[in-house]
Amino acid sequence: MALPGGLDRLHRVVSAVANRLAAPESVFRRLLSPVYGAALRLLARDTGIEVVVNGERFRIDPGVRAAVPSTYEPEVLRILRARLRPGACVVDVGANIGLWVLHAARLTAPAGRVIAFEPNPATAGVLRRHLRMNGFDARVVVETAALAAKPGTARLYGVAEAAGTSRLHEGNPEGARPASGVAVPVTTLDEYCAARALRPSLVLIDVEGLEGDVLEGATRTIGSNPELTVIVEMHPTLWGAGEEDRLRDLLGRLGRTARGISGQDDPLRSYGQVVLEPADGASGDEEQVMAETEKSQGSGAFPVSKTEGEWRAQLTPEQFAVLRQHATERPGSCALLHEKRPGTFKCAGCGQPLFVAHRKFESGTGWPSFFAPVEGSIGTTEDRSHFMVRTEVHCSRCGGHLGHVFPDGPPPTGLRYCINGVALEFEPAGDAISR
């Protein structure tokens, strides 16, 4: 049986080569992808393959790798990181294959609880495999039930595969509708929480246009807890007549206002992520929450320390996503991957020299790789998963996230510093440090 680490390295190399040969949407890639996926599944067995989502490493079923982006809804991630603490309880309604479930399980470790509602049997099966692969199955409960305004049963359409477009009552216009659905149990968030004495800290809702039904069945849970964070993915194009008015009335009864976080003009008329905040502002401004979080995490301990607004003004959106939000750039996307001139690679955030050119090597991963940094320039944070030790690396001067270091590099160190190219700036030879 192939070892997980060896398979991960093979997958990185194959992905890097494929990205150079053809675009993901090309006919060549579409034809070969199912064959490659079947081979990965056979080799991976119960271990899955490693992916990086929002700077976090997880193991997933190879069959759904195309549905897992390297950067996933960063505006939601910012709120999760700001408001979740170890031991918190999270409810994910419409959990799909579990990207937010995995993030929430890690953010609330070691004793937090996550409840994942996913009524599609095929999708719930993938979600359970992901939990086992990442060692989270003891703290996450997967409920193969739907949430709505009233308990009972309903038919779920779009269940042929884990496509993420399953919908109660009728087929989703954005997905294929089968001839008939399957019957699934339905409960309400109020009944579920009351029966188990649950008081969630955060609720995520993504139910393909049935947002009002879920909120209608959660009035006690939301109304009795002004500190509860509620994030809803709104699908107004899937709403029936009068649904917008119904939602506005429902928010009024809940004492909440909808604030769009995906750049939409009107949170109830445009598709996107929405935070339902107490109308009196009791939950506090998000920027203030983020600033307090950065302070509590010790960002001020770095010699160069700036507010989030200052970093946003200084950096490009791509640089900000990587350096300050731990995102990961697409492999093969940065010109510095192919930079071969003598010189010094500096932090794009603060200009500190990080790596010198003669320590760079071709790893085949699609990211600039080095076998050693400039002495004292790098800080590390160790993170242990079920299958491997992962070590995050950041700039010791400003705390900017750079990438990760792995113990599979060349001599003399045996290390591979796998770095996002967008986090670096290159200065050609002439600096004394490059000698």
Report pLDDT for 339.
94
Contact 334, 368 (CB under 8 A): yes
For residues 103-108, average pLDDT? 95
Report pLDDT for 292.
41
For residues 96-106, average pLDDT? 96
Cβ atoms within 10 Å of 300's Cβ, excluding its own:
11
Residue 64: closest CA among 140, 145, 143, 120: 120
Residues of the chain with pLDDT > 70: what percent?
A: 78
Residue with tokens 């989502």: 53
Question: CA–CA separation, 48 vs 134, rounded Å?
Answer: 9
Question: CA–CA separation, 46 vs 4, rounded Å?
Answer: 10
Whether the predicted pLDDT of 108 surpasses 50:
yes
Report pLDDT for 169.
79
Whether the predicted pLDDT of 34 surpasses 90:
no
Question: CA–CA separation, 201 vs 186, rounded Å?
Answer: 22
For residues 357-361, average pLDDT? 95
Partnered with residue 346 across adjacent β-strands are 353, 425
Whether the predicted pLDDT of 347 surpasses 50:
yes
Residue 380: closest CA among 328, 348, 414, 415: 415
* Residue 2: band (very low, low, confident or very high) from pLDDT cuts 50, 70, 90: very low
Report pLDDT for 281.
54
Whether the predicted pLDDT of 161 surpasses 60:
no
Residue with tokens 């510093």: 417
For residues 380-385, average pLDDT? 57
pLDDT digits (tens, 9 = 90+) for 178-199: 556 899 999 999 999 999 999 9
More confident residue, 43 or 226: 226
Report pLDDT for 19.
60
pLDDT digits (tens, 9 = 90+) for 198-253: 999 999 999 999 999 999 999 999 999 999 999 999 999 899 999 999 999 999 99
Question: CA–CA separation, 198 vs 108, rounded Å?
Answer: 15
Residue 112: closest CA among 132, 141, 134: 141
For residues 385-401, average pLDDT? 74
Q: What is the mean pLDDT of the chain?
A: 84
For residues 300-329, average pLDDT? 85
Contact 423, 394 (CB under 8 A): no
Domain 321-434 belongs in CATH node 2.170.150.20: yes
Whether the predicted pLDDT of 413 surpasses 60:
yes
pLDDT digits (tens, 9 = 90+) for 250-300: 999 999 999 999 888 889 999 999 999 988 654 444 444 444 434 433 444
Report pLDDT for 66.
76
pTM summary value: 0.62
* Residue 35: band (very low, low, confident or very high) from pLDDT cuts 50, 70, 90: low
Question: Which region among 43-52, 235-244, 301-310, 321-330 has the lowest average model confidence (pLDDT)?
Answer: 43-52
* Residue 166: band (very low, low, confident or very high) from pLDDT cuts 50, 70, 90: confident
For residues 142-152, average pLDDT? 97
SS (HEC) of the chain: CCCHHHHHHHHHHHHHHHHHHCCCCCHHHHHHHHHHHHHHHHHHCCCCEEEEECCEEEEECHHHHHHCCCCCCHHHHHHHHHHCCCCCEEEEECCCCCHHHHHHHHHCCCCCEEEEECCCHHHHHHHHHHHHHCCCCCCEEEECCEECCCCEEEEEECCCCCCCCCEECCCCCCCCCCCCCEEEEEECHHHHHHHHCCCCCEEEECCCCCHHHHHHCCHHHHHCCCCCEEEEEECHHHCCCCHHHHHHHHHHHHCEEEEECCCCCCCCCCCEEEEEEECCCCCCCHHHHHHHHHHHCCHHHCCCCCCHHHHHHHCCHHHHHHHCCCCCCCCCCCHHHHCCCCEEEEECCCCCEEEEHHHEECCCCCCCEECCCCCCCEEEEEEECCCCEEEEEEECCCCCEEEEEECCCCCCCCCEEEECHHHEEEEECCCHHHC
More confident residue, 10 or 214: 214
Is 418 annotated in the active site?
Answer: yes
Edge to edge, what strands does the sheet with 378-384 contain? 360-361, 369-370, 416-419, 401-406, 389-395, 378-384
- Residue 165: CB partners within 8 Å, gap ≥ 6? 158, 172, 174, 175, 208
* Residue 116: band (very low, low, confident or very high) from pLDDT cuts 50, 70, 90: very high
Question: CA–CA separation, 324 vs 328, rounded Å?
Answer: 11
How far is C-alpha 206 from the chain's CA centre? Answer: 15
More confident residue, 70 or 39: 70
Q: Which class is domain 74-291? A: alpha beta
Report which residue type is found at 153: T
Q: Which of 193, 347, 398, 418 is catalytic?
A: 418
* Residue 333: band (very low, low, confident or very high) from pLDDT cuts 50, 70, 90: confident
More confident residue, 280 or 312: 312
Whether the predicted pLDDT of 18 surpasses 70:
no
Report which residue type is found at 255: G
